[in-house]
Structures are given as C-alpha cells and as structure tokens.
Structure 1
Amino acid sequence: MPAVSAVSAAPLPAPPRTLGTGLLLVVLVVAFEAMAVGTVLPRVASELQGLSLYGWASSAFLLSSLFGAVLGGVLSDRRGLAWGAGFSLAVFAAGLLVGGLAPTMLVFVLGRLIQGLGAGGLGALPFAVVTAHYPEAQRARMLAAVASAWLLPALVGPLVASLIADTWSWRAVFWGLVPLLALIAPLCLWPLRGPAPRVGEGSGGAGLLRPALGLALAAGALVEGLRSPGPLGAGLVGLGGAGVVLTARHLFPAGLLRFAGGLPTALAVRGLAAFALLGANSFLPLALHELRGLSLTAAGWVLSLGGATWTLGSWAQAQAERRWGPGSRPLRVRVGLGLMATGLLASALAVLGGLPLWAVYPSWVLACFGMGVGYNSNSLYALAAAPPGESGRLSGQLANIEVLMVAVAAGVGGALIARLPLERAFALAFAVTLLAAVLGWLAAGRLRRTS
C-alpha cells in the first residue's frame, strides 16, 4: 500500500460554524443517552417486570448499531451526508419514543434495538463529516472537540438521569430527548445539503447491507454463546465466531486479521484498543465494589475521571498534530497505546490487591489519557486513507470494528464472571484485556509514516 495521502488534492472550503455546532450537539445528546441508560435500566426492568430481558436491553442496542453504522455510511455515500444523518437522527428519535412509551420489557428492548440502529449511524457520522468538510489541518482539532462532547455527559449524565427518574419518571430520560433532537437537527443537516456524491468504485453500495446484517446476527450468537453454559453455548460460539469471520471479510479491507499495514492495521489497532479499554471499563466498577469494597458511587468516580482524561488526551494529540504534523501519527499511536497498556496493568494490580487501592485512580487516568492520544491519532491516520467518495463507508468501518470488539469483550467478561469465582474471573478478564492492549501496541508498529 502506498504512503497515505489526503482524500482529495483540492483544498476544502471552510465549513460553516453551524455544522460544527450542530454536529457536537448531536454527539452530546447521543452521549447523554448512552451514559444515562445504565442508571435507569434497573428501574425499567423492575417496573416492567422484565429482569430476564435485562441483558438484552444493552445487547440489542449494541448489535443493531453494527448494522446502523453501515446503513448510515451507505446512505451517506450514495445520497449525501444529509440523507445519512437525517435517517439516523429520525430512527434514533423513534427508538427513544418507543423505549420511553414501552408498556412491557419486550417493547422496551425493541425500542433499544431501534435506538441502536440510529445511534450506529450517528456514531459514524463525525468521521464522515470531518473527512468530507474539514481540511487536513482542522481534523485533529475537530475530533478532539467531538471527544470533548462526551465529557459533560460522562460527568453529569448518570446524576441527571437519576434525578429525572426520582422526581418524574425514567420514561422522561428517553422521550424527553426527542424535542431537543428536533431543535438541533437542522443545525447539523442544513450545512450538509448538496448534490449526491459520485459513489466510488469500491464503495460496495447496498451490497454491504447483507454482510452487515450477518455480522450483527453472528456477533449476537457469539455473545449469547459466551454467556450460555453447556453444548448450546459452545455451538453458538462456534457458529457465531465463524459467522463473524466470514461476514467481516466483506465489510473490512483485506489483511485486517494479519495486520497488513496501512488502513487494515489502523482498523485492527482501533478494535484491539476498544476491546482493551472499553472492555475493562465494563467490569471495572463491579470489580472495585466486589473485591475492594468500594461503593458504586466511588467506583463511578473512577470512570468519570477516566472520561475526563480521555478528552484531555484527545486535545493533547491535537496539539501534537499541529506541532509535528501527520507524519507523527504512527508514533503517537504507539505512545498512546503504550500508556494505555501500562495504566491497565497498574489498574488491574490495584483492583486485585497487588497495589494499594488508591493507585487505581492515577492508573485509570493514565490508561484513559493514553487512549485519548492513541485512539484519535489512529482515527486521523485512517481518515487520511479514505478513497474519494468512500468516507461514509470508512466511517462505518471505524464504528463497526469498535462496536464489534466491545461486544465481544463484554461477552467474554460476562461469561467469566458468571462461571468462575469472582477474584479468578476478574483476574482472567483483566488478563484478556491486557493481551488485547499489548497486541494493539505491537500492531501499531506496522502503521507507516504518512507523507
């Protein structure tokens, strides 16, 4: 693969300010919903008497977002970004209404599935917008701003959701966001209007939708198999794993599994980093509570500090991009992932008793800061490799590899916790995420210096 070049030689005009404002507000709403739902989900299951479907309330969202990211990318490449963004916003709002008005837990799970379909496209949207509308010199800053839009929801989302549920109803956490989306959607959609782009030869168009649906179904079988004991679970793991490998070949560039340099390696690094940090993030509060006696509120503060320093790392890499240019991206990815792996190791030792409990705070801060540096630097590298007319497809690939690996990480962690004594389960879960972090760091060495 040749050295990565810009998507287009022609300079891009300065994007309107309303585009950046609208995009960040959309990300803010999606981030608030993502942070708030975990707080109110136990109340939803209790009121709707649906504890047996508790797990699927999260899994349905996550797996449908796999398909939603590809669908939004295909619409963006074939009809224009305004079409892709408008469709994703409408579907996400519909899912919020269904979930907020759900009379039963089954209908609530259906609402979560619809939300995920829209959220998948919205999660991929910033990458497509940044690629298509922002010049190379402004991309790092804009991606850092997108990361910052997650900071406020990470800090106050659970508290605000809890207050709304206590003083009013958990339903307002969902349908209450719909009027807000209606107000901010025009700020994002209006600047994206324009003629439909000329679809690149390799974009694949609607042909990507079938393998994307297959990937979501296969990943669902894999996750359910990891959670299910006995022959049925083993069979689902085998079928789901084979299905993931087969369908991924149609959705991701060749050479992904063998770290074939350039874009395939960038996607592999993104997936491994997501598996490592976001996988550990899913069980860290429970481990602190069960093994070290930390209250859930105190454990939540660990995650809030991590979210803040992830944003700080994103801004640090933006400053590094401005000072040293695109050629420093591969080095920044390796440095960031090295810090992340070191922080994960220290966090695991603090949780398991090898280090004092207080050490988990600076350790997790270090891991998340490294993630902010490495993750966004890797995203910039991947965005620069998008062929003309395929920014929508690449945005779907970036979102899908993350969601897929986080879903698998959650399945592995959940299976270990369900089947083994807690101390052993958490030790193995940390070991698996650390292995992914080290593999990501090694794979980042195959990223080639950009010109």
Structure 2
Amino acid sequence: MTGPASVDALWRERRTTTAALVTLVVLVAFESFAVATVMPRVADVLDGHALYAFAFAGPLATGVVGMVVAGSWSDRGGPFRPFLAGALLFVAGLVVAGLATTMPVLVAGRLAQGLGGGAVNVTLLVTLARAYPPVLHPRAFAWFSAAWVLPSLVGPAVAGIVAEAAGWRWVFLAVAVLVVPTSLPLLRTLRPLGPPETGSDVTAAQARVRVLLAVLVAAAVLALNLAVELPPPAAATLAAVAGTGALVAVRPLLPPGSLRARPGLPSVLTTRLLVSGAFFGAQAYVPYLLATRDGWGPTASGLALTTAALAWSAMSAVQGRLGQRLMSRDAVRVGTALVVAATVGAWATAAADLHPAVLVTTWTLAGAGMGLASSRLNVLLLGYSPPGTQGRNSSALSIGDSVGAALALAVSGVLFALVAAGAAPDGAAAVADAQGGFVVAFALTVVLAAAAALVAPRVGVPPTEATPAVRGPAAADTSS
C-alpha cells in the first residue's frame, strides 16, 4: 500500500504533465459551456431550430471516428501524433462554425470539431494511463474535474457577454485562437511517450474494420438527426432504422458483452453509455427550456450549467481525496442514483410548468452525480486495461460516452420535432407544443438514467483496487 508521502512524491514528479493536461481541459470546458449557452441564439439568427439537437449530437457522432482512429494509433505509436492531428481538426471546426452564415455550415464545422475532439479526448486518457500509476488516477481525474470550475463560473457569463457585445461568432473563434498556444506545451510532453512496451493485439486489418464500423455509427447517428427534416411518418421510420443501425455497428467497438451489461469492464462501458446519454441528452435542453419558456437570456440560462459543473467538480474532488478508501463501484452507484433524481426533476419542471429555480436546483444534482460516476468509471476503465489495450479501451469508453449522448440527443430531437410539429400560428399554442417537446425529451433521459442505475452495481472491482499498485511508469514527466 502506498503511503500519503509516497503518493505526494509521485504526484510532484508529474507536475509539468499535470499542468499541461489541466490547462487543455480548462479550455475544452470553456468551449463546452460557451457553445451550450449561445446555441439558442445561434438557432434564432441562422433559423436553425430544426437542427438544434444536430448541432450537439453531430460532433459526438463524428467524435466516434476520431476516438477509434486515435485509440489504435496511440497503441501503435504513442499519443503524440493522434493528439496533434486531433487538435488541428478541432481548431479548423471551430473556425468554420464561427464563420458560418447558415445552420448547415455551422453544423459542418461542428462535425469537424467533433472528429478532432474525439481524438484529443482519447489521447489524454492514454497519456494518463501511460504516465501515471493507478494510485494517482483518482487524484488526476479530480484535477480534471476541478479544471471545469472556472469555466463553469465564467463560461456562460462570458459567452453571454461576448454574444451580446461582439456577436456569437466570437465564442467559437476566440476558443480556436486559444487552443493553439495551449496545445504547444502538451506536445512537448507527449512527444517522448512512444509505443507501449506491450504492443497492441489489434492487427492492421482489424483496425481498418474498426474505423469502418465507427464511420457507420457516425452515419447512423447523423441520419437519425436528419429525420427531423422529414414528415412525421418518414421521420419515425428513419429514426428506428438509424438508431438500430447505430447500436449494431457500435457493438463490435465495445468489449464483448457490453450491450448485455456483462459484469466487469463491459458494464463499465454500458453504464457510461447510459449515464452520458441521460446527462448530456437532458443538459442540451436545460438552457433551451429556460430561454424559450421563461425568456431568460444567454447569461441567465447558463446558470443551471454553472451550478451543475460546480457540483460535478466538488464531488469529483471528494472522490479524489477519498482515493481508494471509496470503492469505485459504490461511487458509481450513488452517482447514477443522483442523475436519476435530477432527470426526474427536469421532467417534472417541464411537465408541471414548475418555477425555473426547480430546474436549476435539480440539475445541480445531476452535476454531483456525474462528478462521482464519471470520475470512477474512468478509474475502473484504466484498472481493467493492461498495457497494449489502453488506447483501445479508452476509445471504447469515449465511444460509449459519445454514442450514448449522441443517440439520446438525436432521439430526443426527433421526438421534440414530432411533438412540436403541430404548433399553431397562435403564439400561446406554439409555446404549449414546444413545452410538450421538452416533456418528451426529458422523459427519455429519465429512462436512460434509470437503466444506468440498474447496471451500475455490475461494474465490479478491478485488480488495481483489489491490490493497489505502488508505482507506475518511471519516465512520467519527461518534460520537466
């Protein structure tokens, strides 16, 4: 067992790597809050309400391709090159979105952004697995969550101010400018992390098949989002076919037994897919409801995102301090239960026309639940991943994350459009129909959250929690 002094020494050895990783997470977090805050206004200006959910689900879909490519690439040659390629695509997507004059062009930029972001996300997990011993993983993920605190406090407000003073385009363009200098220190850190000593057991042919499957998953999710443009009968048919196709294509990209919630690593992936679908599927509609029903502006409607992110960071810090004194399985159980309570609260707010303060308060619970569940699902994933599988398993976790959220957003978008399709010219009737769309969208996330809570006890205990490792790779902070 590693003592506190030894753990602190291991942590100090990696301070340069930690600083670089946390800085990038801060920027990614700001982009997430800023875009979510201004998207209702973007939909108004570009007349793109039909593609509102697509603007969120599209990047998650293309991100699956980036994750699969980066995972195999990292296992073969290390995380440096896939990170560089992902960062360049991420910046290019932000620039296209910021300069867009129509909603389809903005969505195209978001697709490129998602492709690059998926690659970046996987390479960060691989870096953590390669450079940090298991005993430091809870603390590292706590720092990652803490990196969301400042963006959650100022992100929505800054995005609202920028949108009102300079225009919403600068929310995208400013982040694109800042990503470049932020990535340079991390590139110096990643370069020495070459291939793992234990090579990947995935052949080149298998890697190509995985990429093809990822493309099929992305295409199915995108088709599901495009269903909102069709008449109701055709939309329902396309949604059913595309949703089924996405699940069939994603199955080989996850560990065997994931879609059946087999105990251990498969259930880690299943839980992540479900809880991410519940959380992100609902969160996209939280500021949307506050803006359309209650008339809140971009700054005010981002309040629920801020309180949820603060709760996420706080609970992640708690689990980080507890370390291996808190079993990851127990943290996941409690976290998913909190997300269930939060989605029920969001549904009740829309269904019973409750005061917006109820939505802000209950959504704070969702952030707390994700702070526990998400951090420890990451810990469990790395605990179940020996060298040579870290890239593939990290990409599988990220795939579950993205596919769950993308499918939830896509299906909720179709349901929202179908319910609101009969909106009458009369303003009050249109608002009432839109409210019905919110009720159906939030109801879907309640179902997903409940399913995650049922699967959570099956995540098990990995070897790293049963017999904690003393030390990981020796060359952890080569840039110091």
> For residue 145 of structure 1, what is the aligned residue in structure 2?
143
The structural deviation recorded for 1:443 is: 0.6
The structural deviation recorded for 1:227 is: 6.2
Alignment-mate amino acid for residue 250 of structure 1: P
Alignment-mate amino acid for residue 296 of structure 2: S
Contact 1:18-1:188 within 8 A present in 2 as well:
no
Against the structure 1 CA distance between its residues 344 and 58, is the aligned structure 2 distance closer, same or farther, given a 3 Å change threshold?
Answer: closer
> For residue 399 of structure 1, what is the aligned residue in structure 2?
398
Aligned counterpart for 2:438 among listed residues 401, 426, 444: 426
Contact 1:60-1:112 within 8 A present in 2 as well:
yes
Against the structure 1 CA distance between its residues 15 and 175, is the aligned structure 2 distance closer, same or farther, given a 3 Å change threshold?
Answer: farther
Distance 1:20 1:248 in 2: 32
Against the structure 1 CA distance between its residues 44 and 448, is the aligned structure 2 distance closer, same or farther, given a 3 Å change threshold?
Answer: closer
Deviations 1:329-386 (A, max 9, x none): 1112112212222233244334433976644444322232122112211221112111
Distance 2:396 2:189 in 1: 24
Distance 1:129 1:373 in 2: 22
Alignment-mate amino acid for residue 392 of structure 1: G
The structural deviation recorded for 1:312 is: 0.9
The structural deviation recorded for 1:184 is: 2.2
> For residue 295 of structure 1, what is the aligned residue in structure 2?
296
Distance 1:49 1:354 in 2: 26
Distance 1:33 1:356 in 2: 28
- Does structure 1 residue 90 correspond to structure 2 residue 84? no
Contact 2:58-2:110 within 8 A present in 1 as well:
yes
Against the structure 1 CA distance between its residues 105 and 129, is the aligned structure 2 distance closer, same or farther, given a 3 Å change threshold?
Answer: same
The structural deviation recorded for 1:289 is: 5.3
The structural deviation recorded for 1:147 is: 1.6
- Does structure 1 residue 440 correspond to structure 2 residue 452? yes
- Does structure 1 residue 189 correspond to structure 2 residue 187? yes
Alignment-mate amino acid for residue 114 of structure 2: G
- Does structure 1 residue 200 correspond to structure 2 residue 212? no
Distance 2:292 2:43 in 1: 22
Distance 1:237 1:169 in 2: 35
The structural deviation recorded for 1:146 is: 1.1
> For residue 365 of structure 1, what is the aligned residue in structure 2?
364
Against the structure 1 CA distance between its residues 106 and 357, is the aligned structure 2 distance closer, same or farther, given a 3 Å change threshold?
Answer: closer
> For residue 254 of structure 1, what is the aligned residue in structure 2?
256
Q: Tell which deviates more after alignment, 60-69 or 43-52.
A: 43-52
The structural deviation recorded for 1:319 is: 2.1
> For residue 423 of structure 2, what is the aligned residue in structure 1?
none
Task: Identify unmatched segments of 5+ residues in structure 1.
Answer: 1-11
The structural deviation recorded for 1:85 is: 1.2
Alignment-mate amino acid for residue 305 of structure 2: L
The structural deviation recorded for 1:322 is: 4.2
Alignment-mate amino acid for residue 381 of structure 1: L
Task: Identify unmatched segments of 5+ residues in structure 2.
Answer: 1-9, 420-432, 467-480
Aligned Cα root-mean-square deviation (Å): 2.9
Q: How many residues align?
A: 436
> For residue 373 of structure 2, what is the aligned residue in structure 1?
374
Deviations 1:61-80 (A, max 9, x none): 23211211222222211221
Aligned counterpart for 1:163 among listed residues 161, 164, 171: 161
> For residue 323 of structure 1, what is the aligned residue in structure 2?
325
Distance 2:29 2:288 in 1: 22
Distance 2:443 2:57 in 1: 23
> For residue 8 of structure 1, what is the aligned residue in structure 2?
none
> For residue 68 of structure 1, what is the aligned residue in structure 2?
66
> For residue 4 of structure 1, what is the aligned residue in structure 2?
none
Aligned counterpart for 1:110 among listed residues 101, 108, 111: 108
The structural deviation recorded for 1:406 is: 1.2
Deviations 1:201-245 (A, max 9, x none): 147433321111111001112233366433432332233123213
SS in 1 for 2:459: coil
The structural deviation recorded for 1:101 is: 4.2
Distance 1:209 1:438 in 2: 31
Contact 1:275-1:436 within 8 A present in 2 as well:
yes
Q: Tell which deviates more after alignment, 227-236 or 65-74.
A: 227-236
Alignment-mate amino acid for residue 373 of structure 1: L
> For residue 234 of structure 2, what is the aligned residue in structure 1?
232
Against the structure 1 CA distance between its residues 344 and 61, is the aligned structure 2 distance closer, same or farther, given a 3 Å change threshold?
Answer: closer
Distance 1:369 1:224 in 2: 33
SS in 2 for 1:257: helix
Q: Tell which deviates more after alignment, 426-435 or 243-252.
A: 426-435
Distance 1:405 1:236 in 2: 18
Contact 1:273-1:440 within 8 A present in 2 as well:
yes
The structural deviation recorded for 1:43 is: 6.0
> For residue 16 of structure 2, what is the aligned residue in structure 1?
18
Against the structure 1 CA distance between its residues 290 and 216, is the aligned structure 2 distance closer, same or farther, given a 3 Å change threshold?
Answer: same
Question: Normalised by the size of structure 2, how large is the TM-score?
Answer: 0.82
Distance 1:97 1:374 in 2: 33
Contact 1:227-1:415 within 8 A present in 2 as well:
no
Q: Tell which deviates more after alignment, 395-404 or 97-106.
A: 97-106
- Does structure 1 residue 278 correspond to structure 2 residue 260? no
The structural deviation recorded for 1:309 is: 0.3
Question: Normalised by the size of structure 1, how large is the TM-score?
Answer: 0.87
> For residue 209 of structure 1, what is the aligned residue in structure 2?
211
Contact 1:144-1:376 within 8 A present in 2 as well:
yes
Distance 1:283 1:163 in 2: 21
Q: Tell which deviates more after alignment, 357-366 or 217-226.
A: 357-366
